[in-house]
A and B are shown apart, each in its own frame.
Chain A
Amino acid sequence: MSTKIIGYKRENGKIGIRNYVAIIPVDDLSNNACESVAKIVQGTMALPHPYGRLQYGPDLDLHFRTLIGNGANANVAAAIVIGIEPNWARRIAEGIAKTGKPVAYFGIEGHGVLKTIEMAARKAKEFTQYATAQEKVEADLSDLLISFKCGESDTTSGLGGNPTAGRVGERLIAAGGTVIFGETSETTGAEHILARHFATKELSEKYLQTHRNYLKVIEDSGEDLMGSQPTEGNIAGGLTTIEEKALGNIQKAGRKEKCPVQSVLDLAQAPAGPGLHFMDSSSAAAEYITLMGAAGAVLHLFITGQGNIVGNPVVPTVKISANPKTVATMGEHIDVDVSGLLSRELDLDAAADKVMACLVATARGRFTCAEALGQKEFVLTRLYPSA
């Protein structure tokens, strides 16, 4: 099967498969200006979100890292940053500018929103013409940074969808590709198995420490995750315990001899090299894919059982399901039907072929279901409350 794609080669050499001009608000107050610019100038896209005021410490660092990372993402040709104050806007713009792509920033204070919209829209017009002048280049699917996550999982995820993703990951990595997976909470009960997938003992211990830290946060809150993990949707789909869910979840990592895990990434951190990487991350779908966009993922493979509908504005999200009921009732959200794995009409390699073909088509420009339907959840992760 051909894995040739056509993409956009950015100034820093990274390959993107979409060609957005992103209009990025630093804070909640700047959403209006960003959305107004995106209405005026064709080919631009605002990324509104509810945060960015009075954050501090590691939570503020993560805010900056997430916005800089998404602006720097290879699916973005150029970016405009708007904030109520110019300093934080400049900090984000400077972070994005390290990629070499065109970036501009604007502060609303001292100008008002109308003047800011005018200034930003004039720059956005210049950028959209820059973006649309970019020539596409030939590349390979393995040139892309691809992220994996499952959601609204059920027992069919562990039987079919996740092992298929694992097989796809093995192929991408054998071809020199880069894949990120994660979901720290959803490895609980399978951490002793996942720990064996890491390339070195040190990495294995780092992952286990990350998992222990996560459990401590939950325990220190005096709570447990009954009622949240597994979710009501998971339970309706037949998953009973977190251990069962985790054993299904880690099937995405593929076979350990084929793709040992090369690093444990912090939230929104880009991997340093090819291979499989684990990001310490929440299992909440929209937060997760936003973090992956920040880490540089340009394509996401989402495995669902009961039918999660998530999409992301920066990272096209391909959905697969092995549940024949979900495929029948929510077909408009499912890009690849691998339910033949349950009836044994498909084996894992045939299912992986179907998914690879869809990833290639998506990379060549075909809209995913989520893109066609306008699902574009951009959700920032918070570590603690604002000051």
Chain B
Amino acid sequence: MAKHKFLLHEEEDSVGVAVADIEKGEKVYGAFLHGDKLVDVVANDNIPLGHKIAVKPVKSGDFVIKYGEKIGKCYQDIQTGDWVHTHNLKGDRWGKK
């Protein structure tokens, strides 16, 4: 079985977390915290350990889901394989000033 390079909390999550540094163009596998299912994604960016990779597209203004919960809204379209961080995702609780 392929070795995972990112982990996902829940089935409905739109992002996973890199557990090793991921290189742009690399085909990487993601495992879920529970169960044996794997997903694969081609990375569009370099994504360092601990940072998020999109496993599905999210439209600008839509919520990004992690832990099965809303973690903020993206403010530009996110494609599968994109690095998701402060350049395209913002919290919905503060930071609106």
Where the two chains meet, the residues of A that have a C-beta atom closer than 8 Å to any C-beta of B are: 154-156, 158-159, 188-190, 193, 218, 224-226, 229, 235, 237-238, 240-244, 247-248, 305, 323-325, 342-344
Contact = CB atoms under 8 A, between A and B. Distances in A.
11 contacts: A155-B52, A158-B9, A189-B93, A193-B69, A226-B95, A235-B86, A238-B52, A242-B91, A242-B93, A242-B94, A244-B72
B11 interface: no
Given A156-B50, A342-B7, A343-B19, A244 B94 contact: no
B49 interface: yes
B67 A247 contact: yes
A237 B49 CA distance: 8
Contacts of A243: 69-72, 91-93
A224 B94 contact: yes
Interface of B: 4, 7, 9, 17-19, 31, 33, 48-52, 66-67, 69-72, 84-86, 89-97
A381 B26 CA distance: 48
Nearest to A223: B97
B74 to A, nearest CB: 10
B49 to A, nearest CB: 6
B89 A226 contact: no
Nearest to B90: A241
A34 to B, nearest CB: 41
B84 A342 contact: no
Contacts of B92: 189, 241, 243
A362 B67 CA distance: 33
A189 B86 CA distance: 17
B67 A240 contact: no
B10 to A, nearest CB: 11
A159 B9 contact: yes
A54 to B, nearest CB: 33
